[in-house]
Structure 1
């Protein structure tokens, strides 16, 4: 068959929920265009039912993921970075189309995103030493504080940084043992949906990351008020939506990471996002003649 008569095989983008690739429960899609208005693909328009399914999947995965050793989580995250490197050309094309960048500039963004993923992978077994430690107390006790993951975290991904910003908000959440429900950039969801394909073929357990494309204003309030969501990152929410979601999140005392002015996602991220969704457990353990028993709170 000659090349001129060959039919193009267009990619069908789907959600990534519980390690699988469902279409939106409602069957809805919306058009995604490049910076010049040219059609790129139809992306799933997630519904509230899709959001609920994602929370169920994230909660189911939380026990195993949070219970894994930090070293094991780091190995899995590094494996994902290897796979991202293998798909570099695909992401360069998708990021370039999404953000209107030349191939060289898109390549620099993708390289920075992969480097950022590796950076967070290296923190999995080190953050405990930064935020935990032994506490001096008066009495025959050891008093130790250790960080533990908060639980299920909803992430409103950045709107204008379709891949580097996305990686910068997902990686720290799962590196510290949380599971994530991610609302992608509404106008540029394709790199995020392709990330789901990488995660599905890596060693990351299904449900640790769940990716929903669509309208943050439609899914956000439902997820912010969901009683089984423990925290929310408002990185990609505008001021009005952020205020609405903060109010909804207060109903079950969710941790909320408010939007931060980020002009350059390539800047050193520090440890702010790593520590944003950690809880501190303090353990008291008797020493000396008081025996081997102990208590914690």
Structure 2
């Protein structure tokens, strides 16, 4: 209670983000989130397997409309999200500083880099086809055109060590190319991800394109890896043993898997993740001669 005003502090209640809505975990469970010194920050929802399955249903439902939107439209929506993130820099700076034990200056640099990266990926929306597709020379009176298409529903394990910059670096490239995602936030630092959900919900992003769960990474990733309606996995936030188990589960329905690897999230991201969850469709068309 504040000594000057006599007011009680109003603590924020964090929730999951599934299908454009903010449900509590179906089990009602929560877990304590602390800062780098062990100081309590908040109770985050402890998502269950049922929550993971609900998130996949929401992502699949949103896939048709999102993948069918024009690349220009997707880019505009992502840019709008960046605008909104810019307006909440102070909030994200405080959350990143607490989550990662950084000074205000270093946390600000992380948040600024994350917003810049979101803009960078937004700009690729109507350009990626130029590096991932093209016309092919064939012997015959045909046009032969290869074009990139999204893989589908991607389950993303957010990086554990980079609660916001790393998070943006795995979500943005997946959705800008037309995929929908189910994200398992960093287990020990989920608050920036849950706050990102609030930005997404008030942007132009259709519900279900991004679904964010907090909880135990191993508990959430197992049903996602085995789910028959998940098309791909990004294992950025998995350790070696967990990644091996998830790859085995993913092989059951031939999911595309992006294996974990050491990443400097502050470095130039390149186009690797942008191309990771694209398929190539090749079409033959007569020239009409």
Does TM, scored on the shorter chain, surpass 0.5?
A: yes
Counterparts in 2 of 1:48-63, with a 5 A limit? 48-63=49-64
5+ residue gaps, structure 1: 290-297
1:24 aligns with 2:25: yes
Match of residue 269 from structure 1 = 269
CA distance in 1 between partners of 2:287 and 2:135 (Å): 14
Task: Tell me the alpha carbon deviations over residues 118-165 of structure 1, each in whole angstroms, 9 at most, x when there is no partner.
Answer: 000000000001110000001111000000000000000000100000
User: Under a length normalisation based on structure 2, what TM-score does the superposition of the two structures give?
Assistant: 0.98
Deviation at 1:32, TM superposition (A): 0.2
Deviation at 1:2, TM superposition (A): 7.2
Aligned residues: 288
Task: Tell me the alpha carbon deviations over residues 271-295 of structure 1, each in whole angstroms, 9 at most, x when there is no partner.
Answer: 0001100000000011133xxxxxx
> SS at the partner of 1:155?
strand
Which portions of structure 1, spanning 4 or more consecutive aligned residues, are displaced by more than 2 angstroms? 1-4
CA distance in 1 between partners of 2:5 and 2:238 (Å): 45
User: Under a length normalisation based on structure 1, what TM-score does the superposition of the two structures give?
Assistant: 0.96
Match of residue 220 from structure 2 = 219
CA RMSD of aligned residues (A): 0.9
Task: Tell me the alpha carbon deviations over residues 156-196 of structure 1, each in whole angstroms, 9 at most, x when there is no partner.
Answer: 00001000000000000000000000000000000000000
> SS at the partner of 1:5?
coil
Match of residue 287 from structure 1 = 287
CA distance in 2 between partners of 1:162 and 1:277 (Å): 22
Match of residue 239 from structure 2 = 238
Match of residue 109 from structure 2 = 108
5+ residue gaps, structure 2: none
CA distance in 1 between partners of 2:128 and 2:102 (Å): 35
> SS at the partner of 1:195?
helix
> SS at the partner of 1:186?
coil
Deviation at 1:81, TM superposition (A): 0.1
Counterparts in 2 of 1:1-297, with a 5 A limit? 3-262=4-263, 264-289=264-289
CA distance in 2 between partners of 1:36 and 1:2 (Å): 26
> SS at the partner of 1:144?
strand
